[in-house]
Amino acid sequence: MDLEPQPPSSSASAGGSSSSSTELVHTDYTPKLTLAAVFLVIGHAERMHQRNTDLDDLHKQQPTPVLSPPPTTGPDLTAALQDLRSALDARLDALESRMATVAAPPSQVKAPPPSKPQVRGTPKKRSYAAAAAPSRPAPPVTTLNPPTPPKAPGPKHAPEPLRYVVRFAGPAPAHLLQTPPVQLVSDVNAALAAVLTALAAYPSSSGNIVLAFPATTSYCRIDEHLPTIRNALRLNPDHHISRNVKWSRVLLGNVSTRAAPGGAVHSTLALSDELVKNPALARLHLTQPPCWARRPEQIDGAHSSVVLGFEDLDGSILTTLLRTPLFAFGAPVTTSRWRDKPCL
């Protein structure tokens, strides 16, 4: 409770001096003021205690909130904020510059200054760190191999002339062997009457006659005029003209020699007419007409062998013939390879 100070008594004010009255006032009010201050402090403490008690009760009734940790204010966060601020400032500056450029009229847009030509003779200054750094060897320069120029085409060989060979069942006729080649080719060209031109007509080492024609002439055209060439050379029916290409021979065995016992031996023309009845032989391009493997006058038996030649570039035709059944004069015949025996 608050105490009001009492006024001094009259006796005291009348009888004493100023100094004594001051001391009386001090001594009289000091205990009372001290007591009042004590009560004031005690009352304030009680109120604080009561308030704390009320707060404790309130905390017991409500759940304690989980406080989040205070934000980090270390150097990492400060540096991150500074970087973010710098990035934002740069972005704002760029946007302002862009807006100023867009808003400005075309006449106010300044052209970029012309680039200064670089002086190649002036070397650039190098820093001390760059000069002191150990020099690294430059990586090897990989150069691609230059494309190889296309090879120039070599000289083309002259085309070979077309050659035909006149083959005989026996030795060549004497008039062909005794006539010079220049006369033979002249006789052939005279018979052809400029339709074809023969380049040569000469005997070969095997006893045949070889005819040469220009490469520009076709085989088909020469084949059309073979009868004229035969007449010019005075060839017999059993003499055969064919192309000079790779060819094969086949030997036919067990061929009937006569139509009846005691009759004449079949001629080469009769052999050809009979053998071409076989489809496999009719398709052949003959280089040697069919003939007896022995001289006809030396054939005494009822059966003998016949040899014939045909064009065969890779030998496949001969292989096929050896597996094909063939017939002559109403009976089957055998087939075998020819062993390079000349006709007798």
Domain endpoint, select from 243, 272, 306 = 243
Same domain, 261 and 235: no
- Indicate whether 231 belongs to any domain: yes
Same domain, 257 and 325: yes
The model carries a pTM of 0.45
Domain endpoint, select from 214, 243, 272 = 243
Same domain, 253 and 302: yes
What is the per-residue DSSP string for 137-186? Answer: PPPPP-PPPPPPPPPPPPPPPPPPPEEEEEE-SSSPPHHHHHS-HHHHHH
What percent of the chain lies above the pLDDT cut of 90?
A: 35
Pairing mode, if any, of strands 331-337 and 247-256?
antiparallel
Same domain, 215 and 270: no
Same domain, 173 and 239: yes
- Indicate whether 82 belongs to any domain: no
Same domain, 255 and 317: yes
pLDDT recorded at residue 279: 95
- Indicate whether 205 belongs to any domain: yes
- Indicate whether 7 belongs to any domain: no
pLDDT, one tens digit per residue, over 122-157 is 555 556 555 555 556 666 666 666 677 776 665 567
Integer Cα distance of 330 and 198 in angstroms: 43
Same domain, 333 and 252: yes
pLDDT, one tens digit per residue, over 32-68 is 555 566 566 566 667 777 777 777 776 666 655 555 5
pLDDT recorded at residue 222: 93
Query: Which residue in this structure is represented by tokens 């009561």?
Result: 50
| Residue 86 CA from chain centroid, whole number | 53
Q: Which of 2-16, 109-123, 278-292, 324-338: highest mean pLDDT? A: 324-338
CATH of the domain at 231: 3.30.70
Same domain, 238 and 269: no
Q: Are 176 and 209 in contact (CB under 8 A)?
A: yes
- Indicate whether 80 belongs to any domain: no
Same domain, 221 and 251: no
pLDDT, one tens digit per residue, over 260-292 is 988 999 998 899 999 999 999 999 988 888 989
**Residue range(s) defining the domain that contains residue 213:** 162-243
Domain endpoint, select from 243, 269, 288 = 243
Same domain, 224 and 262: no
Q: Are 257 and 306 in contact (CB under 8 A)?
A: no
- Indicate whether 72 belongs to any domain: no
pLDDT, one tens digit per residue, over 148-199 is 777 666 556 778 899 999 988 678 888 888 999 999 999 999 999 888 999 9
- Indicate whether 139 belongs to any domain: no
Instruction: Work out the burial of residue 204: count CB atoms within 10 Å of its CB; fewer than 13 is exposed, 13-18 middle, 19 or more buried.
Output: middle
Same domain, 306 and 329: yes
Helices within the chain (DSSP H only): 10-15, 18-61, 75-103, 128-132, 174-178, 181-192, 219-224, 226-233, 268-275, 279-282, 316-322
**What integer is the mean pLDDT of 252-267?**
92
pLDDT recorded at residue 51: 74
Question: What's the angle, vertex CA 22, arms to CA 19 and CA 27, rounded to 5?
Answer: 130
Contacts of 36 (CB under 8 A, 6+ apart): 1, 2, 3
6 pLDDT more than 90: no
- Indicate whether 102 belongs to any domain: no
pLDDT recorded at residue 44: 64
Same domain, 272 and 219: no
CATH of the domain at 262: 3.30.70.330
Count of domains forming the chain: 2
Q: Are 314 and 299 in contact (CB under 8 A)?
A: no
| Structure-token pair, residue 206 | 């095997």
